[in-house]
């Protein structure tokens, strides 16, 4: 089946630095990708919709200047956490929509664990 990768899988950074997380669809093209955030033992919360070639759409309460999203190609979306703070520590998961065989299916990446010290 389709594969979505994320890089890095884990990152530790100092407070105030920026961190970039990549989400790639490896064997299909995705005009739309989604970024979710998950706190320990909690559910996933949709942060934003990443649209290839246009601006991302952010969910209510998500700071667009804090979480920069770029979807420059049909296989890559990046999430940059700017000026990270300890409260940004979380598990970030992306997903991409595949329309293979005329059926829409959502594939999730393995997640990136961010720890801000």
Closer CB to other proteins, residue 37 or residue 88? 37
User: What is the radius of gyration, based on Cα positions, of the chain?
Assistant: 14
User: C-beta of 18: minimal distance to other proteins in Å?
Assistant: 24
Residue 107 as a binder of other proteins (CB under 8 A): the answer is yes
Closer CB to other proteins, residue 19 or residue 93? 93
Kindly identify the residues of this chain, within the stretch 64-93, that bind other proteins according to CB under 8 A. Answer: 91, 93
User: C-beta of 14: minimal distance to other proteins in Å?
Assistant: 23
Kindly identify the residues of this chain, within the stretch 24-63, that bind other proteins according to CB under 8 A. Answer: 32-34, 36, 41-46, 49
Instruction: Name residues whose C-beta falls within 8 Å of residue 38's C-beta, 6 or more positions apart in sequence.
Output: 44, 45, 90, 91, 92, 93, 111
Look-up of token digits 């296989």: 75
What are the residue ranges of helices labelled H in the chain?
Answer: none
Q: Confirm if 51 and 57 have CB atoms less than 8 A apart.
A: yes
Instruction: Give how far Cα 23 sits from Cα of 28, 50, 56, 75, Å.
Output: 13, 11, 14, 8
Closer CB to other proteins, residue 21 or residue 93? 93
Total chain residues near other proteins (CB under 8 A)? 27
Using CB under 8 A as the criterion, which residues of the chain lie in contact with other proteins when the complex forms?
4, 6, 32-34, 36, 41-46, 49, 91, 93, 95-97, 104-111, 113
């Amino acid at each position: 089946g389709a594969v979505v990768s994320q890089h890095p899988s884990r990152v530790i950074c100092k407070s105030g630095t920026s961190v970039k997380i990549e989400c790639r669809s490896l064997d299909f093209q995705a005009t739309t990708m989604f970024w979710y955030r998950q706190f320990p033992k909690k559910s996933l919360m949709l942060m934003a919709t990443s649209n290839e070639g246009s601006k991302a759409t952010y969910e209510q309460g998500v700071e667009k200047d804090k979480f920069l999203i770029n979807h420059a190609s049909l296989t890559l979306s990046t999430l940059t956490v700017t000026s990270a703070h300890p409260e940004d520590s979380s598990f970030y998961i992306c997903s991409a929509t595949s329309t293979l065989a005329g059926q829409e299916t959502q594939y999730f990446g393995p997640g990136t664990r961010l720890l801000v010290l």
